[in-house]
């Protein structure tokens, strides 16, 4: 397992990050803990969760798994806040000082830890001034409850705005961004990835397998396999496009030639892109986890990369995934984008 700096910090994280969105949801507690232990034994030291995953159950399970045998001390633990925690309370959501401090305290309790290594904003929010959010996060760092702070699905201009505000106000700055990024949608290469490289921001892509599309289990003439894209559409009603299958078929062909799985090719490609720190794997089963971990041993040649680039050119999108995920920025009196 290769270890890389988390942006401009001195912290080293594994080239793959274990995502835990399935834990407590489609994966039971016992299986989830076994998978966390297996990932750590395989060399992963970077675990990502969120307070919104399974209504906090994912955090609780992660905390339980890391609470024994000194695992917490060796793990770079990341979580996120923003999404509603109580549908009846308008203040139990968002990026206000009130909510972030309360959400952090709740996450610390569920995670059974005194500190969070990387505390991330799950989405941006237009009707909360960035200085209010940054001051709250800075206070959490100064209190020793958070080590570093990051973002998820922030536009490049929002990242730069936040960096400017941090510098102007003398506050701790963001060290990471978590965009969606994979071979079927390379939109992040247009502005987010260049901005991150310019300012020393770690990039931790979520959904590097596009919800299972890049595993190769869905074919152009058969989308009956169980999973998020069963029937040719995902849970957000996004359809698989003919162009997406062109890319999937290229990934399957490269995998066949290299004697590995399509998932491993997609993950190895992601981890090898300029500016990428650690793609987040989100396994539901031990079989999926074992397969994903195998990506760390896959080396893509220049010829392999060129074959994939021909199918999925830089900055291209075979299906609109990034833009759809951006639509959670609330504006006053305007609802959603």
pLDDT in tens, 1-46: 999 999 999 999 999 999 999 999 999 999 999 999 999 999 999 9
Q: pLDDT digits over 283-328, tens only?
A: 999 999 999 999 999 999 999 999 999 999 999 999 989 987 875 4
H/E segment holding residue 138: helix 130-142
Query: Is the pLDDT assigned to residue 337 strictly greater than 80?
Result: no
Looking at every residue in the chain, the average pLDDT score rounds to 95
Helix axis angle, 262-272 relative to 302-311, nearest 10°?
Answer: 100
Q: Which of 53, 148, 321, 322 is catalytic?
A: 53
Whether the model pTM is above 0.85: yes
Residue 333, pLDDT > 50, answer: no
Residue 335 pLDDT > 50, yes or no?
no
pLDDT at 261 exceeding the cut of 60: yes
Sign of CA dihedral 268, 288, 149, 3: negative
CB 234 within 8 A of CB 228: yes
Checking if the pLDDT of 216 tops 90, the result is yes
- Which CATH class, in words, describes the domain spanning 3-211+273-298? alpha beta
Q: Which tokens is 191 given?
A: 């502005």
What would the two tokens of residue 241 be?
Answer: 């496009």
Using a pLDDT cut of 70, give the percent of the chain over it. 97
According to the model, what pLDDT value does residue 213 have? 96
Instruction: Determine what percent of the chain is predicted with pLDDT higher than 90.
Output: 93
- 3-class secondary-structure state, position 93: coil
Of 42-46, 218-222, 247-251, 326-330, which gets the smallest average pLDDT?
326-330
* Per-residue pLDDT at 328: 46
Tell me if 274 sits within 8 A of 193, measured CB to CB.
yes
Contact 187, 317 (CB under 8 A): yes
Question: Parallel, antiparallel, or unpaired: how do β-strands 3-5 and 12-14 relate?
Answer: antiparallel
Each domain of the chain, given as residue ranges in start order, spans: 3-211+273-298
Specify whether the CB–CB gap between 124 and 192 falls below 8 A: no
What tens digit of pLDDT does each residue of 72-121 get? 999 999 999 999 999 999 999 999 999 999 999 999 999 999 999 999 99
Which pLDDT value is given to residue 262?
Answer: 98
Report the C-alpha gap between 16 and 76 in whole angstroms.
12
Task: Establish whether 148 is a catalytic residue.
Answer: no
Q: Which is nearest to 317 in space by CA: 247, 253, 218?
A: 247
pLDDT at 220: 95
Q: Per-residue pLDDT for 235 more than 90?
A: no
CB 110 within 8 Å of CB 63: yes
Q: What is the pLDDT of residue 28?
A: 98
First vs last C-alpha separation in the chain: 40
Q: What is the pLDDT of residue 327?
A: 57
Q: Three-class SS of residue 117?
A: strand
């Amino acid at each position: 397992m290769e270890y890389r700096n988390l942006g401009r910090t001195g912290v080293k994280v594994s080239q793959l990050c274990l995502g835990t969105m399935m834990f407590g949801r489609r994966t039971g507690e016992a299986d989830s803990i076994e998978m966390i232990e297996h990932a750590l034994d395989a060399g992963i030291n970077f675990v990502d969760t969120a307070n919104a995953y399974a209504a906090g159950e994912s955090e609780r399970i992660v905390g339980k798994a890391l609470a024994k045998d000194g695992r917490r001390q060796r793990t770079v633990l990341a979580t996120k806040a923003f999404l509603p925690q109580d549908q009846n309370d308008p203040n139990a959501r968002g990026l206000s000082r009130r909510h972030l401090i309360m959400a952090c305290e709740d996450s610390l309790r569920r995670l059974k830890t005194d500190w969070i290594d990387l505390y991330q904003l799950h989405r941006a929010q237009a009707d909360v001034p960035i200085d209010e959010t940054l001051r709250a996060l800075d206070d959490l760092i100064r209190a020793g409850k958070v080590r570093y702070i990051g973002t998820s699905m922030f536009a490049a201009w929002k990242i730069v705005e936040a960096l400017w505000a941090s510098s102007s106000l003398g506050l701790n700055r963001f060290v990471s961004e978590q965009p969606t990024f994979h071979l079927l949608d390379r939109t992040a290469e247009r502005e987010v990835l260049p901005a991150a490289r310019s300012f020393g921001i770690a990039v931790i892509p979520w959904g590097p397998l596009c919800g299972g599309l890049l595993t190769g289990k869905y074919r152009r003439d058969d989308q009956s396999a169980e999973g998020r894209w069963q029937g040719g559409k995902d849970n957000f009603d996004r359809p698989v496009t003919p162009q997406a299958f062109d890319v999937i078929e290229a990934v399957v062909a490269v995998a066949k030639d290299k004697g590995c799985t399509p998932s491993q090719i997609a993950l190895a490609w992601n981890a090898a892109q300029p500016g990428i720190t650690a793609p987040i794997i989100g396994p539901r089963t031990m079989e999926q986890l074992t397969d994903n971990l195998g990506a760390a041993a896959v080396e893509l040649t220049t010829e392999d990369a060129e074959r994939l680039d021909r199918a999925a050119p830089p900055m291209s999108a075979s299906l609109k995934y990034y833009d759809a995920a951006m639509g959670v920025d609330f504006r006053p009196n305007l609802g959603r984008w």
